[in-house]
A and B are shown apart, each in its own frame.
Chain A
Amino acid sequence: MKHLTLGTTALLAGLSAIALPAAAKDLTITVWAGGSSDADAFRIDNIKTAAEILSAEYAIMGEELNITVEGRRDFGGWEEFKQGVTLAAEAGTAPSIVVSSHLDIAPWSQAGYIVPVEDYLDFDTFPLNDIYPNLLEIAAYNGIQWGIPQDAESRPFFFWKDTMRGIGYSDAEIAALPERVAAGDYTLQNVLEDATKAVDLGLVEKGYGFYPRPSNGPDYAQFYQSFGGMLQDPETNKLVLDKQSMQEFYQFFVDAVEAGITRKNHLGTDWGQWYNEVANGKAATWHGGTWHYARYTGKEGNDDFFGTIEFSLIPSGDANGRANTVTHPLVYLVTNQADDQDEEIAAQLIKIASGPRLNSLHAIKSAHLGIGKQQSNIELYAGDQWASEATERLLSTANAQPNHLSYGAYSEAMFKGLEASWTGAQSAADAVADLETELRAKLGDELIVR
């Protein structure tokens, strides 16, 4: 019984099963959270809290429900996590609740690994009706609400203030950067120039003028958008390969390498080293995520974030492009289980965990952004400078990557092309030609080439 497929007979069976006076029910809910470090522990712990609340509610209704929550987040990287979830789902041993990228909704729903939470939850009720509609939209696919956003974030561009001062920016000019970026007045070409200056003046080492994320991630879609690229056609919902934007995007990284502001071998840099370097001013400019705030000010010991770092949207690439930022929320998903009632309880748990109070615990602890409007009425959240400034400056313009069956293939191929041109294995033009071949073969009708 997957979701509402049931014929009437099956339905009746289901209803009577639920209506029966329930004896004490013992249930184990497993939660797997991907890409989660210690700071993200509330992704699991909130489900535990929710289980206590739900048990109490059931007790009041006269039913005894004992929920044991087992959480797991020690997967290595995203690669191992997704491999694990996928194979477990194939084998029928998937965890009850998964915290993963919203991009997984399309393939996982098509494969039948997850069930729509809208089959179990009333989105007209609190706290679901309090969640930002655009975030809910990101957790929906094909008009169906498959999951609930677990957090929000966006991916800003960072400037190290001291270095910017060193190349001649006044404090006022630095403070004006975010607005200039947003207006399209300060572009990636300016980044190239300023970063080159910083390297030439010896303010940062060679290769540290522009210090991008060292591995694949949604961040790179931003630079494609910076050059006017579009990921999905809003009319047809097909994915779009804008060859010119793609090539300009690749070329920007080639130019950065040639200018000596980015290392040719940058991809693959150890994350630990990377965090430490950007948090302490070794790089002039870089890009990252809003959640980096927790790491910079925590483990890496930058006590004066706002005094040392300026942040903005990702600048537009040229006059045709636009400044932008991608938000890549993680979502709570309920997997397809043998017992419909398990799915229902899992859905109720993630609903409770999405309340403003519980979600704020996660948001503030891990420096993510909240999911609901009421969180501004939670003191813990409202009192946090980063959460409020980042929300204001970034989230209003943030767009998400498309939930599309083939977006995984699209983004892998896009990154492979970037990697090839960045490291000099191919010219940007050749890489785009390859990308086109690959995407045409893999996506067929689902691709629009411009």
Chain B
Amino acid sequence: MTANFRSMPVIALLTIVSLPLVIMYVFTLVDTFTNTEPGSLVPNEFTTEHWRFLWSPDVGRGSVWVATVNTFIFASTTALIVTSISVTAAYALSRLDFPARRFFLSGIIILHAFPTITLIIAIFLILQWLGLFDTLIGVIIVKTALELPFGIWIMKGFYDTVPWEIEMAGVQDGASRFMVWHKLVLPQVQPGLAALLIFSFLSGWSEFLLPLVLAPGSDSQVLSTYLAYFLLDDSLEVDFNLFKSVGLFYAVPVILIYLVFQKKLMNIYGGGSKG
């Protein structure tokens, strides 16, 4: 280890700047199972009362379990659709030539960096025409559409890194372009596929504004709006330990997925994306 790689000062510095986050994480975890005297930092008793929202439906807005199921449906469906649509569209943009390809490509790039939530009035109107306002399906479609440019862009990045020689070889052997894509190219972009799937799942799980505005009913609410209700409602007592328990319940799947699939997810920020 050379002098410049001596690590103690760096670790010390990093620890200090990371302290706020670490404190937040630790207390979020601890506070959900304990009570603390006001003005003190050390908990004085163990309790499960902050988790009462799991079994008593009166605590929050509707049942947390309905919200959980909705969130799961929302996130997984969005992830599946985004990934499956991106995977074909990105291939087309990366490797196939067709009329107005440049136009499509630049369109995707522009949309990819675009104010999405500001369009929500117009989106509402379209959903209403389709009779999908205040339904989970409606929010799923909208979320999918808003996520697609990003998904396509990422997948295109992965396709771009696949060597041309693979396809050339396949085409020369007489396989159709579809077969070449299906049998030869697709396996090459597996990491990208997995990364996009995880990424869109996490993004769907966290989505807040779209369900808030487009699916305000109790039947179609998701965990983000369930939790936000505690923050928005003035008439509720501020009970951070309860809020944190709900929040932790909401975040556990996300954290698990992240910890398990960390490496796969990082691909999205790595080699795949050029821009």
**Contact surface of A with B, Cβ cutoff 8 Å:** 37-38, 72, 74-77, 80, 83-84, 87-88, 90-93, 215, 270-273, 299
Taking a contact as CB atoms under 8 Å apart, the answer to whether B128 and A74 are in contact is no
Taking a contact as CB atoms under 8 Å apart, the answer to whether B213 and A87 are in contact is yes
Checking B216, B218, B234, B238 against A87 with a beta-carbon cut-off of 8 angstroms, the contacting residue is B216
B61: A residues at CB distance < 8 A: 74
Q: How far is it, in angstroms, between the C-alpha of A75 and the C-alpha of B235 when the chains are bound?
A: 11
Checking A74, A83, A215 against B213 with a beta-carbon cut-off of 8 angstroms, the contacting residue is A83
B134: A residues at CB distance < 8 A: 87-88, 91, 93
Q: How far is it, in angstroms, between the C-alpha of A130 and the C-alpha of B202 when the chains are bound?
A: 58
B37 interface hit (Cβ, 8 Å) = no
B232 interface hit (Cβ, 8 Å) = yes
Q: Please name the 7 residue pairs, one residue from A and one from B, whose CB atoms are nearest each other, closest first.
A: A76-B232, A37-B235, A91-B133, A271-B234, A74-B61, A84-B216, A91-B128
How many residues does chain B have at the interface if contact means C-beta atoms less than 8 Å apart? 20
Q: How far is it, in angstroms, between the C-alpha of A74 and the C-alpha of B225 when the chains are bound?
A: 11
Taking a contact as CB atoms under 8 Å apart, the answer to whether B229 and A74 are in contact is yes
Interface of chain B: mostly helix, strand, loop or mixed:
loop
Q: How far is it, in angstroms, between the C-alpha of A87 and the C-alpha of B213 when the chains are bound?
A: 9
Q: How far is it, in angstroms, between the C-alpha of A93 and the C-alpha of B228 when the chains are bound?
A: 23
A80: B residues at CB distance < 8 A: 212, 216, 232
Residues 75-109 of chain B, each 1 if its beta carbon lies under 8 Å from chain A, else 0: 00000000000000000000000000000000000
B216: A residues at CB distance < 8 A: 75, 80, 83-84, 87-88
Q: How far is it, in angstroms, between the C-alpha of A87 and the C-alpha of B125 when the chains are bound?
A: 9
Q: How far is it, in angstroms, between the C-alpha of A87 and the C-alpha of B237 when the chains are bound?
A: 29
B229: A residues at CB distance < 8 A: 74, 76
B253 to chain A: closest CB distance in Å?
24
B235: A residues at CB distance < 8 A: 37-38, 271
Question: Provided the pairs A80-B216, A93-B134 are in contact, do residues A272 and B238 lie with their beta carbons within 8 angstroms?
Answer: yes
Q: How far is it, in angstroms, between the C-alpha of A92 and the C-alpha of B229 when the chains are bound?
A: 24
Taking a contact as CB atoms under 8 Å apart, the answer to whether A272 and B128 are in contact is no
B124 interface hit (Cβ, 8 Å) = yes
Residue of A nearest to B62 (CB): A74
Question: Provided the pairs A87-B124, A90-B128, A91-B128 are in contact, do residues A77 and B237 lie with their beta carbons within 8 angstroms?
Answer: no
B45 interface hit (Cβ, 8 Å) = no
CB<8 Å pairs between A and B, sample of 25: A37-B235, A74-B61, A74-B229, A74-B233, A75-B216, A76-B228, A76-B229, A76-B233, A77-B232, A77-B233, A77-B234, A87-B124, A87-B133, A87-B216, A88-B133, A88-B134, A88-B216, A90-B124, A90-B128, A91-B128, A91-B133, A93-B134, A270-B238, A271-B234, A272-B234
A270: B residues at CB distance < 8 A: 238
Residue of B nearest to A84 (CB): B216
Q: How far is it, in angstroms, between the C-alpha of A299 and the C-alpha of B235 when the chains are bound?
A: 11
B228: A residues at CB distance < 8 A: 76
If A72-B218, A87-B134 are given as contacts, then 18 extra A-B residue pairs at C-beta distance below 8 Å, sorted by A number, are A38-B235, A74-B61, A74-B229, A74-B233, A77-B234, A80-B216, A83-B213, A84-B216, A87-B124, A87-B216, A88-B134, A88-B216, A90-B124, A90-B128, A90-B133, A91-B127, A270-B238, A299-B237
A247 to chain B: closest CB distance in Å?
30
